[in-house]
Amino acid sequence: MCPIQTGATTEGSDDCSFLPFLLYNLSHMKLLAFALLSFALQVCSASTGKAPATAGDPVQKIVATYGAQNRGAGADRGDTLVAQNSAPSLDGASKSQGTSGNGAGEPTQSVKVSELPPLSITKDWSDRAYWLFTFFLVAVGGLQVFLLWGNLRAIERQAIQMERQTGILEKSVALAEKNAETARQNIEMFISRERAHLRVEVMPLEWPLQPGPPKLRYKVTLHGATEAYIVTSCARAEIMDSLEPADDAKWWPAMSIPQVIGPNNRVVEAVVEGIFPKMNLEQPDLDAIDAGKAFIHFRGFIRYDDVFGTERMTRFRRAWELSKVRNPDGTRSAHWSKRGSPKDNSET
């Protein structure tokens, strides 16, 4: 099967169309090669057998002459030179010994080989078939090498193409991640613009305070195009000996604000009467505040849900801080300052 390539050249497409044709023929060529190999082995085994003797063979002539001399009556049995292409057999030697045993007066004859007759080897069609079959095997091996080389080139081109596609894929993944981050930021911007944001603003006190129940006023303002659904809230004023407030788990009373604050009523004003632990301030308390020995703290929170179902929290913590410089009339100016940790003054 030709490897799949994206954006390959015309040369690559020609190689891919030629490879299936060669591979298809190669399966039939293997069968033909196996048949030729079997036939050549049979021919070689038949050609290795001994060829029959011909009438003009010089070895046969010498053997016939030697037999005629043995059959002649009263002929002198001298030494006869016999030229043959093989050593005398053991059967002939045993027969000679038997004959010499029967005729005690007959002399023993010896056979000597002086020279070998000339031997000529001719090549027939089986030798040519062997060379032709060998050449065919070499051609098949060369074709296989060519096919493997073409397949290697195709694999190399495919590897290069895969490297390019991998680079393109990595860039695409990075771009997709960047687009996803941009989309997430856009969604967050849209939600932040449309959802409700509640902020608490504490109004200044009417300083100097007069003995009696003080009133601390504040405003809850809605920022955003959708409603805020109040879950729970708290606003509490108290007197402490330190300007830095201590942690206190007591969160009461609740704010006097509606359960839903929407675009139609963006600003809600409320008031807290009394300062914990006293509902009324006496003159010694006011003198301690004026001397910087006591401080008024105002803290609270609002927990609400926006229209997208996310729970939000707004916290605030303030302290009424007096100026160290007195005015010409002997009074001192004051303002609310943020106190506590960043979490105590946060909006989510």
Q: Where are the beta strands (DSSP E) in the chain?
A: 80-81, 111-112, 197-202, 215-223, 228-240, 260-261, 267-273, 295-305, 311-326, 332-338
Q: Looking at the domain 197-345, which fold is it?
A: Immunoglobulin-like (2.60.40)
pLDDT tops 90 at residue 78: no
The band of 210, judged by pLDDT with boundaries at 50, 70 and 90, is confident
pLDDT tens column, 239-255: 988 888 777 766 678 89
Quick: pLDDT tens for 104-159.
Answer: 455 666 767 677 777 677 777 777 888 888 889 999 999 999 999 999 999 999 99
The burial of 250, by beta-carbon neighbours within 10 Å (0-12 exposed, 13-18 middle, 19 or more buried), is given as exposed
| pLDDT band with cut points at 50, 70 and 90 for residue 292 | confident
Whether the upstream peptide bond of residue 277 has omega within 30° of 0, thus cis, is yes
Q: Residue 243: its pLDDT value, please? A: 86
* Most distant CA pair in the chain, distance: 186
- Average pLDDT rounded to a whole number, residues 30-42: 67
**Among all chains, which residue has been given the structure tokens 């005629």?**
68
Residue 196, pLDDT above cutoff 90: yes
Question: What distance in Å separates the CA atoms of residue 214 and residue 278, rounded to the nearest whole number?
Answer: 10
Six token digits for residue 347: 């909006």
Query: What integer pLDDT is reported at residue 118 of this predicted model?
Result: 74
Out of 154-158, 173-177, 269-273, 327-331, pick the least confident: 327-331
pLDDT in tens, 169-183: 999 999 999 999 999
Higher pLDDT, 332 or 317: 317
Distance of CA 321 to the CA centre of its chain: 64
Residue 41 has pLDDT above 60, yes or no: yes
Q: What is d(CA 147, CA 142) in angstroms, rounded to the nearest whole number? A: 9
Residue positions counted in the chain: 348
pLDDT of residue 40: 65
Say if residue 213 is preceded by a cis peptide, omega within 30 of 0.
no
Sequence ranges of the domains in the chain: 8-42+125-194, 197-345
Specify whether the CB–CB gap between 162 and 80 falls below 8 A: no
Query: Has residue 319 got a pLDDT over 60?
Result: yes
Tokens at 328, concatenated: 């010409």
Residue 348 is encoded by which pair of tokens? Answer: 């989510």
The average pLDDT across 256-273 equals 93
CB 228 within 8 A of CB 306: yes
pLDDT at 12: 45
